[in-house]
A and B are shown apart, each in its own frame.
Chain A
Amino acid sequence: MVMGSDRRRAVGAISAATITLLILAGCGTAAPPSDPPGAAPGEVPLAAPPTVSSTPGLATPPAASPGSPPMGLPAAQAYADALLAATRRGFTNTAPFYAPGAQQDLRFLVDFSGSGRATIVQAARDYQQMPPRSMGGWDQSDAHEATRVQPIFLGRTDLLDVRAIPSCGYTVADRMTVAAEGITRETMAGSVDRAEFFHSGWVARARPIVERYLGAWTAGSGEAVAALYTPDAVLTDSLGSMRVVGPTTIAARAGADAARGGLPGARLTSGSAAVFLRGDLSLLGPRAARLEGLTLLLTVGSPSCGDELAVDLTLDAADLIRGEERFHRIDRLGTCGGAAVPGTGWWQSARIPSVPQVRRTADLPTAVAGVHPIALWNGDPRVDPIVAWARARFAAAGLPPPEPASVTFLPAVPGDRWATYGFATGTSAIDLALPFTADEACVDASCSAWRATAKAATLHELAHLWTVRGASPLPSPGTWDPAGADRAAETITWGLMDEPYRVDPRLGAPSCARLTADFETLTNSSPVGLDCVSPAGG
């Protein structure tokens, strides 16, 4: 995590070079070209003309999925639709879809990879809007206006969703491994236009791989197919119940029909982007611009009776295929050219989260020139002003008020509400969550006052942000251990409360003198609270 003093920069790790290029890439640019620059006649077109030209608004219902899922698979379709809808409502709503320890690889898109639900969702808030916040972008919807451009593809443990992000001008192939606890792994590959922008070498390098791959499999040439793979390569088609190891074994499928592992007549699917790249977007260091894999959307077999596949290729440094996984388009399963409808799969255990959704309800002006308003999620006129109140308490002490990008009032859920909605306290994230709603914060039905616990929680979370953003005179808040960060936040809370407040007893029993001294050390200012109350008294 970046723990810089500038909140605009404190949104995670992203290389300067990437930032520069992301700025240059921008969003809202023209649709990707139908042919890659420099493609000669007869070359495999790596980017087909896009079919999506409109940008649906947030109020638009989830994208209709072309085709209907065959019997037995509506749960998979519903899961994918629910996830897409959550993405469009606000990234926070996607949090319950992720397993607590989920891993995510967005390196090709935004130079981010990480693990943990909160980290993943915060990365979405920070990066999956264009331009990212780190570069001054400020899409307060915190949402994607993504549109599904192909029916979903399925593996026994995986969901692959191809979505266009019109505002950014590229398409992603989002592969997710789904288990009973949710998505455990997610990797996004980007369409050719994304790759072309960042590194002209990407497409030049991918093109011959795709040409060799399609040429070998369509020719049914065992020798040519074997030459594509490393000695330990594994080809998997989980719905086709196929797993073969080694180039010779794989090559034996070369002349087979689709049901037996062959790819007769395979060609890139038309109608949307069909080649997606993944790898490391870093432009510096040993990982620079490394192509790690490709996802191809293929049409196989005859036009009247063919299959639609997504093929995920993992490459080694010499561009040989180390692993190949095939996924089947949901609307082709059980048809003449497709695989049989699977009896088992992730969709049988995965559950669409049933926790309350969050939505943006208001924007709170910051009263600071050049600083964006604070987006309030799940707010309520009775409780929204608590954010302004808390910021005013900082100002009253002569402290620059913290400037979160958003504040979400978290509804009660079974278990930890922070974890459920992908928030963490005490991090560098500029999206804050408060563990209460208006009903919980108000002392009475008319909300004549807020409970001290609600005020303290608000000050506490803002204090975390205040220290993390470098407003404190103490150096390197990112290096504090969590207990130290909590003690700092609680001490600041104590000093800024407008009613007697006892600090969290887990911090021990500091005296008023100690709290005052700590507050001064933390802020270079004095407490503005009322008469001192401490666990130790005095």
Chain B
Amino acid sequence: MSSTREQARRPRRALVAGLCAVVLVGCAAPLDASTRTAPTDRAEQWATAYASALRQGVFNVRRFYDEEAVLDLTALGRGTASERDEDVRLIGSAFDVRDADASRDAAGELYLAATGALEQAAFMDQAFQAPHQLVSIEEMSATGIARQTLAVSELAWRSARADDPRILAAHKLALAWAAAWRNGSTADIPALYRADATLRDELVGVEAASGTAIASLVGDRASPVALPGFEITTMPDLAGPAVYVVGSIEWASADPMSQVVVIGSANDGAACPGGVAAVLNLDGAGNIAREQRYHRAGDLARCGLAGAAPRGWWNALTIPAVVAVDPTGVLDVSGQQVAMFNSSPALDGLVAWAYGRFAAAKLPPPAVSRVTFYEPTVDLCRGVAGLAAGDELSMCFTAQRVCVNESCSVFEPSAKGVMLHELGHAWMSTHTKRAVGEAFTEQAGLARWASSDVPWGERGVELAADLMAWALMDTARPLSRKLPAYSCEQLAALYETLTSTPPPASAACADPGTEQAEAPATDRSR
């Protein structure tokens, strides 16, 4: 990944992170419907949300699938899965989604049918890292993706399997199909379609159930499925024609390609119907048995193809939150009920341990209503280890990442430190009066108690939270190196100013200049 590309991405990431933070902390509700400008925009929002969720961790896409969704990665040599959790595991093992390009949040061209969609895949496969090499064919249900099949571009297929003769047949089929519909020529239809072939274009309301019926549609230039002047799209970046195939990679077994996808554009003189994709399901002899049409979302309204308000799967579907937030229970600590999300018994234990440290120091408990744990890959956690917003905490680690032993009875000290730091913020939000904060800031020689106008390390509130983590830890924990250095005596005095109690005896201290352990990851608090 080039540095230029990385730099270009940063502002966008920051923006996305900010937006997601609002969504995440506030709720896990569907996207705001008021932003929609066309009925099918909701489909595009769904696709964008899927891409964004995937980029932030494969675990986030689980809610985008129906419980019994089938994931077909046959064309990638990775088999199929037929249950939601299996699907997610397969995606996680097959693709590198963590490095997926953030620009995919703005999903590529989306092609729609009433029951499905076709789009550039948001995956990055080891073998197919260049753009435009994979498309995702999705059958939708009211509960999400019911079936997802990945198809590989013909160029990518040749690149990986140059000697597979089936790709020539698929290539010729695509060319012949395009030529027939472009020219309205029925002569080749019997050779292309089975006699009992079907053609469905749900959005324009056309369904044909025989080769003869299809031939009549081909020959009818006024038909809503006519494709005058159809040209196969040439993809950018030398990615070749927009022709994709699905088939077993074990071509020596003579299994024919099962599907050919052709994406192109037709022009009746008014640039309509515009972008069209056809998924051609083939029989064992390589003839088209079933054809499903999809329309480029942007062209549906422009060309008036499906009326003013085309109906489809997008009308029934709720767009899941981009980042998965699942309630896992309510924790009763120090007489408080804390709602836990994405937690586990071990993480619950970590929270309880941290509350216990406050009690041991004879401090009243922090007032927290909600703690949510996230994978550090989510946008919210970019560059931070934890966040506190009022009485809600967001912790950027999961049990798998911070457990020291298999039973997770011991945590990484850094995780404990971040937990105490964020609880420290929550504690201060209810127990630290303004005057105390100002006195503390002045005593520490800092300019401001809390302001985004000054660097993190120069905020009194951050020093105070880290000071509490230092004092309440059960092992030596130096302050963050981003904060000024203080002597042990100064730290003790600051702690007393903040809490009106001396530091616990367990607070280990080493004066500046002496060897200390590495400071924990930084955090961000609001």
Contact = CB atoms under 8 A, between A and B. Distances in A.
Interface of A: 5, 366-370, 391-392, 394-401, 470-475, 520, 523-526
B158 A395 contact: no
Contact of B167 (A395, A396, A524): A524
Given A370-B129, A524-B158, A526-B175, A396 B165 contact: no
Given A473-B165, A524-B162, A525-B158, A367 B238 contact: yes
Given A369-B131, A398-B154, A524-B171, 9 more contacts: A369-B130, A395-B234, A395-B239, A399-B240, A401-B238, A470-B162, A520-B168, A526-B168, A526-B172
B163 interface: yes
Contacts of A394: 238
B491 interface: no
B241 interface: yes
Contacts of B406: none
B220 interface: no
Contacts of A391: 238
Interface of B: 129-131, 153-156, 158-159, 162-165, 167-168, 171-172, 175, 234, 236-241, 243
Contacts, number: 72
A367 B162 CA distance: 21
B155 A400 contact: yes
A524 B158 CA distance: 8
Contacts of A401: 238
B234 A398 contact: no
B162 A395 contact: no
Given A396-B234, A473-B165, A524-B162, A369 B129 contact: yes
Given A398-B171, A398-B241, A368 B130 contact: yes
From B154, B155, B238, name the one whose CB has the most chain A CB atoms within 10 angstroms. Answer: B238
A370 B127 CA distance: 12
Nearest to B129: A369
B159 A526 contact: no
A473 B162 contact: yes
Chain B interface main SS type: mixed
Contacts of A520: 168
Nearest to A366: B238
A472 B161 CA distance: 10
A488 B154 CA distance: 21
A398 B155 contact: yes
Contacts of A474: 163
From A370, A392, A394, A525, name the one whose CB has the most chain B CB atoms within 10 angstroms. Answer: A525
Given A398-B154, A400-B158, A525-B171, A368 B238 contact: yes
Nearest to A400: B159
Contacts of B159: 400, 471
Given A368-B130, A520-B168, A526-B175, A396 B162 contact: no
A5 B154 CA distance: 18
Given A471-B158, A471-B162, A525-B168, A368 B175 contact: no
A398 B162 contact: no
From B153, B154, B162, name the one whose CB has the most chain A CB atoms within 10 angstroms. Answer: B162
A367 B155 CA distance: 14
Contacts of B154: 398, 525
A473 B161 CA distance: 8
From A392, A395, A524, name the one whose CB has the most chain B CB atoms within 10 angstroms. Answer: A524
27 contacts: A5-B162, A366-B238, A367-B130, A367-B236, A367-B238, A368-B130, A368-B238, A369-B130, A394-B238, A396-B241, A398-B167, A398-B241, A471-B159, A471-B162, A472-B162, A473-B162, A473-B164, A475-B163, A524-B158, A524-B164, A524-B167, A524-B171, A525-B167, A525-B168, A525-B171, A526-B168, A526-B171
A395 B162 CA distance: 14
A475 B408 CA distance: 55
Nearest to B155: A398
A367 B163 contact: no
Nearest to B157: A398
A253 B160 CA distance: 67
Contact of B155 (A370, A395, A473): A395
Contacts of B241: 396, 398
Nearest to B235: A395
Nearest to B171: A525
Contacts of B243: 398
A520 B163 CA distance: 11
B482 to A, nearest CB: 34
A396 B232 CA distance: 10
- Complex A-B, nearest 7 residue pairs according to Cβ-Cβ distance, in ascending order: A473-B163, A395-B238, A400-B159, A367-B237, A524-B168, A398-B154, A398-B240
Contacts of B167: 398, 524-525
Contacts of B168: 520, 524-526
Nearest to A466: B162
Contacts of B240: 395-399
A395 B153 CA distance: 11
B426 to A, nearest CB: 44
A394 B240 CA distance: 8
A471 B158 CA distance: 8
Given A396-B240, A396-B241, A524 B165 contact: yes
Nearest to B239: A395
Contacts of B171: 398, 524-526
From B155, B236, B239, name the one whose CB has the most chain A CB atoms within 10 angstroms. Answer: B155
A399 B158 contact: yes
Contacts of A400: 155-156, 158-159
Nearest to A474: B163
A215 to B, nearest CB: 55
Contacts of B162: 5, 470-473, 524
Contacts of B172: 526
A315 B265 CA distance: 73
A138 to B, nearest CB: 14
Contacts of A396: 234, 240-241
A396 B237 CA distance: 11
Contacts of B156: 400
A530 B236 CA distance: 22
Contacts of A525: 154, 158, 167-168, 171
Contacts of B164: 473, 524
A5 B234 CA distance: 26
B168 to A, nearest CB: 4
A399 B130 contact: no
A89 B507 CA distance: 65
From A369, A370, A396, name the one whose CB has the most chain B CB atoms within 10 angstroms. Answer: A369
A129 B240 CA distance: 34
Contacts of B165: 473, 524
Contacts of A523: 158
B126 to A, nearest CB: 11
B68 to A, nearest CB: 35
A366 to B, nearest CB: 8
A399 B158 CA distance: 7
Contacts of A475: 163
B154 to A, nearest CB: 4
Nearest to A365: B237
A473 B238 CA distance: 20
Contacts of B175: 526
A395 B156 CA distance: 10
Contacts of B237: 367-368
B1 to A, nearest CB: 8
A396 B175 CA distance: 12
Contacts of A524: 158, 162-165, 167-168, 171
Nearest to B162: A473
A153 B518 CA distance: 58
A192 to B, nearest CB: 39
B197 to A, nearest CB: 23
Nearest to B2: A369
A525 B155 CA distance: 10
A525 B243 CA distance: 12
Nearest to A393: B238
A398 B130 contact: no
A366 B238 CA distance: 9
